[in-house]
Amino acid sequence: MTLETISTAKAHGGVQGVYRHASAETKTPMTFAVFVPPHEQGAKLPVLWYLSGLTCTHANCMDKGEYRRLAAELGLIVVLPDTSPRGETVPDEKDNWQFGSGAGFYVDATQAPYAENYRMYSYVTKELPAVIAANFPADMSRQGITGHSMGGHGALTIALKNPDTFKSASAFAPIVKPSVAGWSKPALEKYLGADETAWRAYDMVLLIEDGKRFPELLVDQGEADSFLTTGLMPELLVDAAAKAGQKVVLNLREGYDHSYNFISTFMDDHLRWHAARLKA
Amino acid sequence: MTLETISTAKAHGGVQGVYRHASAETKTPMTFAVFVPPHEQGAKLPVLWYLSGLTCTHANCMDKGEYRRLAAELGLIVVLPDTSPRGETVPDEKDNWQFGSGAGFYVDATQAPYAENYRMYSYVTKELPAVIAANFPADMSRQGITGHSMGGHGALTIALKNPDTFKSASAFAPIVKPSVAGWSKPALEKYLGADETAWRAYDMVLLIEDGKRFPELLVDQGEADSFLTTGLMPELLVDAAAKAGQKVVLNLREGYDHSYNFISTFMDDHLRWHAARLKA
């Protein structure tokens, strides 16, 4: 596979790059960002995946996430994928920010016309990791995953289904039960069909009910988040985890909203959480 | 004067806000950003001004400058003004990114039709400080100033002319001699007229030659900056300062470009530089 370099810049002693490749999964060009910290020649570094939320691309966290200073210090590669396939050939609902472009929900769609391109689960868990392994100084035996909102949903569902791949998992303000939340339920129905049993594989609460486990999940949630009670509902995760014996650390943060002002504030905590597990 | 709050969000324990007011200097609405760190009720805090570069608004550094974590720790208010007046009524050259909107160069224009609105020197040194003093917990006896590129020019020329107002001054990749650099000379001519003696008040090298002094200036400059040799030319500042006995610390940074990847990397150093002088 050919990797096109869109830009690279030195930052905090490492390199912040933006790249593009032709994805076999989505059948589109896909753009992603990678930060490689300063390191010794030949070293292989642990990898932290950050999955973004609705409407975002790789660029939101790259610009506003404030991860480079500490990732450089801790020696973490940080990978920021896009949130969906994009382009003229990709079916979309242009006026709907909760579906289609920017709203892939990290699922493999099974329904026409979306099944052809919307394969973000396989893209993020299989295709892009192979690209990272082949092109960056990455130790793929040490991967962690985090994300925000829709990407927090993506991160924790992927971790629960792939506990052998990931050593650490966390989320900022995740959508914990997309099968019931108003902004995600219509998307799951369009991507996966009306039979809700197919949705269980993409819902962290239902995955835990169905027996999936991960050593420990870290969640930060702002209490002034305007989506807290209708779209995010972290208490549903805490309840399901308590019943199932799944360990969850939930930090409610007084006064913080859903924006990168919140994410960047607690980014250091999450980087240290992952580094402690990836470098153990 | 009435201050309109456009947005506020908790960040790193403080508040990142965006505000708008009707400016008497520019005769337009002006937008600016202020970060207020966590502080005790009634406390008055030192203020650091950050002046942005060509094409920027208050938002570039707010989004990508990575100043909040350490400003919160050090207890610094950070103020980010816009770089020019804007609006339908403001004379502009729409296709010229080096003049007009986004390119006020921190001068008080004297030439028609620009003199009416392009009063960024007085706006930044008089009008906006009064707004800050009236609306934020600011100790105006402890102000520092920094900036990037065109804003680095702004910061150091303003400091040299106002050594009683500012206790600390620094710049990221400043335009050190705008009277000769290709991207600034045409702008000075349009704002200030063909008589180059009027330009001397807005050129740090010429201000130093003309006897202006500031206790100590800090400059960081990326060596991979594509504007280094044609537009920035820090050696002209070093030479002028050496001849005049003006103290300048110039840090050349191997591999860094002109972007916020560079600025955010060295932001901590500059915040500490200012805090050491503002809190002494």
Distance from CA of A56 to the nearest CA of B (A): 15
Distance from CA of A95 to the nearest CA of B (A): 25
| Closest residue, chain A, to B262 (C-alpha) | A11
- The neighbour count for residue B195, using CB atoms within 10 Å, is 9
| Closest residue, chain B, to A269 (C-alpha) | B12
Q: What is the mean pLDDT of residues B55-70?
A: 98
Give the residue from B43, B119, B129, B62 showing the smallest Cα distance to B264.
Answer: B62
pLDDT per residue as tens digits for the range B160-215: 999 999 999 999 999 999 999 999 999 999 999 999 999 999 999 999 999 999 99
Q: What is the mean pLDDT of residues B221-247?
A: 97
Across all residues in chain A, what is the average pLDDT?
Answer: 97
Percent of chain B scored above 90 by pLDDT? 99
**pLDDT for residue A280:** 86
What is the ipTM for the molecules in this complex?
0.95
B258 is a catalytic site residue: yes
Residues 6+ apart with CB under 8 A from B214: B156, B159, B160, B163, B166, B169, B246
What residues in B contact A264, CB-CB < 8 Å? 11-12, 66, 68-69
What whole-number distance in Å separates Cα of residue B142 and Cα of residue A89?
Answer: 57
**Is any Cβ of chain B less than 8 angstroms from the Cβ of A11?**
yes
Question: Do residues B74 and B37 make contact, with C-beta atoms less than 8 angstroms apart?
Answer: yes
CATH of domain B3-278: 3.40.50.1820
Across all residues in chain B, what is the average pLDDT?
Answer: 97
What whole-number distance in Å separates Cα of residue A248 and Cα of residue A237?
Answer: 8
Asked whether the predicted pLDDT for residue A95 surpasses 70, the reply is: yes
pLDDT per residue as tens digits for the range B118-175: 999 999 999 999 999 999 999 999 999 999 999 999 999 999 999 999 999 999 999 9
Q: Identify residue B175 by its one-letter amino acid code.
A: I
A239 is a catalytic site residue: no
- Residue showing tokens 């994300």: A147
What whole-number distance in Å separates Cα of residue B235 and Cα of residue B66?
Answer: 28
Asked whether the predicted pLDDT for residue A1 surpasses 90, the reply is: no
**Domain residue limits, chain B:** 3-278
Asked whether the predicted pLDDT for residue B1 surpasses 80, the reply is: no
The residue count of chain B comes to: 280
Asked whether the predicted pLDDT for residue B5 surpasses 90, the reply is: yes
Handedness of CA B81, B274, B151, A259 (dihedral sign): negative
The reply to whether residue B9 touches residue A257, judged by beta carbons under 8 angstroms, is: yes
- Which residue in A8, A34, A261 has the most chain B C-beta atoms within 10 A of its own C-beta, making it the best mutation to test that interface? A261
**pLDDT for residue A15:** 98
**pLDDT for residue B2:** 87
Q: What is the mean pLDDT of residues B67-81?
A: 98
The residue count of chain A comes to: 280
Asked whether the predicted pLDDT for residue A63 surpasses 80, the reply is: yes
What whole-number distance in Å separates Cα of residue A64 and Cα of residue A82?
Answer: 15
pLDDT per residue as tens digits for the range A148-162: 999 999 999 999 999
Cα B226–chain centre separation = 21
**pLDDT for residue A265:** 98
pLDDT per residue as tens digits for the range A32-41: 999 999 999 9
pTM over 0.95: yes
Residue of A82, A108, A203, A225 marked catalytic: A225
Residues 6+ apart with CB under 8 A from B23: B29, B30, B85, B123, B127
pLDDT per residue as tens digits for the range A185-216: 999 999 999 999 999 999 999 999 999 999 99
Residue of B52, B84, B149, B170 marked catalytic: B149
- How far separated are the first and last CA of chain A, in Å rounded? 33
What is each CA distance from A77 to A111, A138, B29, B193, B257, in whole angstroms? 35, 7, 43, 52, 21
Q: What is the mean pLDDT of residues B96-121?
A: 97
Q: What is the mean pLDDT of residues A127-154?
A: 98
pLDDT per residue as tens digits for the range B17-48: 999 999 999 999 999 999 999 999 999 999 99
**pLDDT for residue B175:** 98
pLDDT per residue as tens digits for the range A224-259: 999 999 999 999 999 999 999 999 999 999 999 999
Question: Do residues B222 and B256 make contact, with C-beta atoms less than 8 angstroms apart?
Answer: yes
